[in-house]
């Protein structure tokens, strides 16, 4: 039975914007044309120029009026650049930016107790997360730009003729008066005028221009994080920009010359006070109302309404991808079969330029001001800045050696995670997770339970492990013996046979279970142990076995550098390392090898997980073909069957198997 409420519209934007229609549908509204009856509703977009048509019909037909607006966290790029919204405001009373009559948000701020401990805790944690990750309404800005020298006054521009300014009765004269007040009240400070994101992109003009610049006034018309600007500002001036709200979240008390939703609650210096707003609120209460209780949030990956925290996951992933990729990439030495997948993941802003000669690729990247990427295992010591690419830790259902495309990749500007000879970004991230925020710890624990519950590992291939009985069951994972992690981090023991022999010698009474690496089992890589030699040290050899189900039946993992050691740690198993994998040396493993002495931090397991599975990799959703959070890839791996390959892919992988002893020629 359809219980959706009919929502009539007379604005072509509702017809064109598929995402808006979908969110409205999921919120319980059925968009339709025609004339409403009493009890139906009419949709208008905020206070757009054509709102009066919908208002007139709603009044004439005695229907309700629903004002629709973008939520306060919208997307990476503005709507005029093509990005659909991640949330909407659906207000039955008014517009949040028009204080002439109360809207739903103002009613919440006036009358809701806003004292729920859990709600305010969510608000405080979300504020910290937004600040730490440089999240704003629009997010097409870099976080590596140097902000102006601290000590300036920040004056915020807005787009010409914006509805929020009309509602505040503000125009050119008010912006000039605001700038004059900033100069008068801070005569010894420089002034930074921040242009609006749509002005920077050339979509709409602002009220300030280069003509307003002087020796002490600078027009900042480049994209930069507002949170970086707040850090160096001694005062913030705005008419009604959302950046004024963000300034409050950053700890400022902004000078407000208009009448936005965040004015009048004791958190701003209001030059145009609003009648009826007498309540004093905390910033957490203001945030809880405006960001948690008021908007409707949408998850495009699962096609469902969601919580604010899910939208933060999404914006962090999508913003990171834009910030990494918007300058474009030159990729050197990438195999032909990898190129379409790399293009899908890293080439959304600008298509990747692929080249095979490293010197030429470096020249191209310099000339076009693009970043340079190489596949990590093919390039070691380089004399110029390079980003190394490698498969992520939740990769796929199927092997890379069988040409299964990855759902996660890592892009490391310092080194690469498996090579301990030099620091990597992952190593820095692990060290930084010694103190996680409560929301980060909670997210890491949820992810750990999801990964364990779904039995996920890197490749998610093989059959369910048969029952294994006995006490002190030790799993010894085989590895590819010419793999880069063995060549750079294995230590004194570098072969699977030597590993098996050492584990048996150290544990004469344990049950030793040897699991060959799936690439080696498939005949695609080096590292096979003869059956007679394996039987001399192992009680059982587990071929074609899913490690996710196997890890539930063992007590310990002894390894050179295998990722199975990390996956065992997630399941609270004891892990002994002979080499120096990325997860060794932090106090979580028993290390018989020589991890780098620089690993002095002591994160807990959730810190290691957060850095390794949340902060470090890039994830790609094969359904929406968008950058995504790790949780989406967990869902996709949990839903999907192992990848099926075309005849061409199968033929290529078999050819690789024939050339396994010459892997360097085809990898």
Q: How many structural domains comprise the chain?
A: 1
* Nearest residue to 517 (alpha-carbon basis) of 483, 567, 551, 474: 483
Distance CA 525, CA 521 (A): 8
| 3-class DSSP string for 378-406 | HCCCCCCCCEEEEECCCCCCCCHHHCCCC
Task: Please state, for a pLDDT cut of 90, what percent of the chain lies above it.
Answer: 87
* Nearest residue to 314 (alpha-carbon basis) of 569, 559, 133, 113: 133
Distances in Å between the Cα of 388 and the Cα atoms of 354, 377, 391, 416 are 15, 9, 10, 6
Band of pLDDT at residue 526, cut at 50, 70 and 90: very high
Band of pLDDT at residue 663, cut at 50, 70 and 90: very low
* Nearest residue to 246 (alpha-carbon basis) of 257, 259, 261: 261
Distances in Å between the Cα of 180 and the Cα atoms of 152, 160, 176, 207, 272 are 15, 19, 6, 14, 16
Kindly tell me the sign of the dihedral angle through the C-alpha atoms of 177, 183, 184, 185.
positive
Instruction: Tell me which long-range contacts 652-657 makes (C-beta under 8 A, separation of at least 24).
Output: 652/337, 652/403, 653/401, 653/402, 653/403, 653/522, 653/524, 656/401, 656/524, 657/522, 657/523, 657/524
Look-up of token digits 């948690």: 292
Distance CA 100, CA 97 (A): 9
Task: Give this prediction's pTM.
Answer: 0.93
Beta strands 617-621 and 41-45 are unpaired
Residue 332 main-chain phi, psi, to 5 deg: -115, 135
Band of pLDDT at residue 397, cut at 50, 70 and 90: confident
Band of pLDDT at residue 643, cut at 50, 70 and 90: very low
Distances in Å between the Cα of 287 and the Cα atoms of 261, 473, 576 are 11, 52, 47
Distances in Å between the Cα of 399 and the Cα atoms of 380, 422, 519, 525, 542 are 24, 28, 7, 12, 17
Kindly tell me the sign of the dihedral angle through the C-alpha atoms of 456, 462, 468, 472.
negative
Q: Could you tell me if residue 60 is inside a domain?
A: no
What is the per-residue pLDDT across 167-222, written as a single tens digit (0 to 9) for each? 999 999 999 999 999 999 999 999 999 999 999 999 999 999 999 999 999 999 99
CB atoms within 10 A of CB 438: 11
Q: Among the listed ranges 197-201, 557-561, 586-590, which one has the minimum average pLDDT value?
A: 197-201
206 DSSP 8-state letter = B
CB atoms within 10 A of CB 492: 12
Could you give the residue ranges of the DSSP H alpha helices within 496-611?
496-506, 518-521, 531-537, 547-550, 563-570, 605-609
Q: Is the pLDDT of residue 10 over 80?
A: yes
> In the structure encoding, which two tokens stand for residue 310, read together?
């899910």
Q: Is the pLDDT of residue 654 over 70?
A: no
Q: What is the pLDDT of residue 414?
A: 95
> In the structure encoding, which two tokens stand for residue 371, read together?
């970043």
Q: What is the pLDDT of residue 660?
A: 41
Q: Could you tell me if residue 531 is inside a domain?
A: yes
Q: Which domain holds residue 552?
A: 429-658
Across residues 398-403, what is the average pLDDT?
73
Strand ranges inside 384-543, DSSP E: 387-391, 408-412, 473-477, 511-515, 540-541
Q: Could you tell me if residue 143 is inside a domain?
A: no
Across residues 35-44, what is the average pLDDT?
94
Q: What is the pLDDT of residue 376?
A: 92
Band of pLDDT at residue 599, cut at 50, 70 and 90: very high
Q: Could you tell me if residue 31 is inside a domain?
A: no
Beta bridge partners of 373: 331, 387
* Nearest residue to 316 (alpha-carbon basis) of 628, 631, 636: 628
> In the structure encoding, which two tokens stand for residue 334, read together?
């990438």
What is the per-residue pLDDT across 360-370, written as a single tens digit (0 to 9) for each? 999 999 999 99
What is the per-residue pLDDT across 142-159, written as a single tens digit (0 to 9) for each? 998 899 999 999 999 999
Q: What is the pLDDT of residue 380?
A: 66
What is the per-residue pLDDT across 265-278, written as a single tens digit (0 to 9) for each? 999 999 999 999 99
Q: What is the pLDDT of residue 661?
A: 42
Q: What is the pLDDT of residue 2?
A: 57
Q: Could you tell me if residue 392 is inside a domain?
A: no
* Nearest residue to 394 (alpha-carbon basis) of 450, 435, 356, 343: 450
Q: Could you tell me if residue 58 is inside a domain?
A: no
Q: Could you tell me if residue 499 is inside a domain?
A: yes
Q: What is the pLDDT of residue 3?
A: 75
Q: Could you tell me if residue 572 is inside a domain?
A: yes
Distance CA 223, CA 226 (A): 9
Distance CA 408, CA 618 (A): 5
Distance CA 317, CA 303 (A): 17
Q: Calculate the average pLDDT of the chain.
A: 93
Q: Is the pLDDT of residue 614 over 60?
A: yes
* Nearest residue to 185 (alpha-carbon basis) of 234, 249, 240: 234
């Amino acid at each position: 039975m359809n219980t959706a409420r009919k929502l009539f519209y007379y604005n072509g934007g509702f017809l064109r914007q598929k995402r808006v229609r979908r969110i409205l549908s999921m919120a319980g509204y059925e968009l339709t044309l025609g004339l409403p009856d009493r009890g139906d509703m009419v949709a208008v977009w905020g206070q757009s120029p054509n709102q009066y048509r919908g208002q007139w019909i709603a009044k004439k037909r005695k229907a309700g009026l629903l004002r629709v607006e973008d939520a306060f966290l919208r997307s990476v790029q503005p709507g005029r650049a093509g990005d659909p919204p991640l949330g909407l405001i659906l207000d039955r009373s008014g517009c949040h930016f028009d204080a002439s009559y109360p809207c739903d948000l103002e009613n919440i701020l006036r009358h809701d107790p806003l004292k729920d401990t859990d709600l305010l805790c969510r608000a405080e944690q979300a504020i910290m997360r937004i600040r730490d990750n440089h999240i704003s309404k629009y997010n097409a800005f870099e976080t590596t730009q140097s902000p102006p020298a601290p000590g300036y006054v920040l004056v915020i521009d807005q787009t010409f003729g914006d509805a929020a300014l009309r509602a505040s009765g503000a125009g050119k004269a008010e912006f000039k008066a605001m700038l004059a007040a900033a100069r008068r009240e801070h005569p010894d400070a420089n002034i930074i005028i921040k242009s609006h994101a749509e002005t920077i992109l050339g979509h709409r003009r602002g009220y300030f221009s280069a003509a307003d610049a002087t020796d002490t006034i600078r027009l900042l018309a480049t994209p930069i994080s507002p949170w970086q600007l707040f850090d160096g500002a001694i005062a913030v001036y705005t008419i009604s920009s959302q950046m004024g709200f963000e300034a409050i979240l950053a700890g400022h008390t902004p000078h407000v010359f208009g009448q936005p939703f965040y004015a009048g609650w004791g958190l701003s210096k209001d030059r145009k006070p609003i009648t009826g707003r007498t309540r004093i609120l905390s910033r957490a209460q203001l945030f809880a109302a405006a960001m948690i209780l008021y908007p409707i949030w949408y998850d495009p990956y699962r096609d469902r309404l969601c919580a604010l925290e899910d939208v933060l996951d999404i914006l962090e992933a999508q913003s990171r991808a834009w910030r990494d990729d918007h300058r474009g990439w030159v990729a050197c030495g990438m195999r032909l079969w990898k190129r379409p997948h790399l293009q899908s993941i890293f080439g959304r802003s600008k298509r990747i330029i692929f080249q095979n000669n490293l010197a030429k690729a470096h020249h191209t990247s310099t000339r076009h001001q693009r970043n340079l990427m190489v596949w990590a295992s093919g390039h070691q010591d380089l004399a110029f800045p390079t980003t190394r690419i490698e498969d992520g830790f939740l990769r796929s259902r199927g092997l890379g050696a069988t040409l299964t495309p990855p759902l996660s990749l890592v892009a490391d500007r310092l080194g690469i995670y498996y090579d301990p000879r030099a620091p990597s970004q992952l190593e820095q991230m692990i060290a930084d997770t010694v103190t996680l925020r409560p929301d980060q710890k909670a997210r890491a624990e949820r992810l750990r339970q999801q990964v364990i519950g779904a039995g996920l590992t890197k490749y998610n291939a093989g059959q369910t492990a048969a029952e294994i009985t006995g006490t002190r069951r030790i799993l010894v994972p085989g590895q590819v013996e010419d793999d880069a992690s063995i060549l750079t981090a294995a230590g004194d023991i570098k072969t699977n046979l030597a590993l098996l022999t050492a584990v048996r010698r150290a544990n004469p009474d344990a049950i030793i279970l040897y699991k060959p690496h799936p690439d080696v089992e498939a005949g695609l890589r080096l590292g096979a142990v003869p059956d007679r030699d394996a039987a001399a040290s192992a009680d059982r050899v587990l071929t074609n076995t899913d490690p996710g189900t196997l890890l539930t039946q063992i007590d310990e993992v002894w390894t050179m550098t295998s990722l199975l050691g990390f996956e065992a740690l997630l399941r609270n198993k004891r892990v002994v390392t002979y080499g120096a994998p990325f997860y060794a040396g932090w106090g979580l493993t028993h290390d018989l090898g020589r991890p780098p002495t620089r690993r002095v931090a002591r994160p807990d397991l959730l810190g290691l997980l957060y850095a390794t599975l949340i902060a470090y990799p890039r994830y790609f959703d094969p359904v929406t073909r968008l950058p995504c959070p790790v949780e989406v890839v967990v869902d996709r791996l949990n839903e999907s069957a192992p990848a099926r390959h075309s005849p061409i892919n199968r033929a290529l992988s078999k050819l690789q198997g024939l050339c396994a002893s010459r892997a360097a020629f085809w990898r």
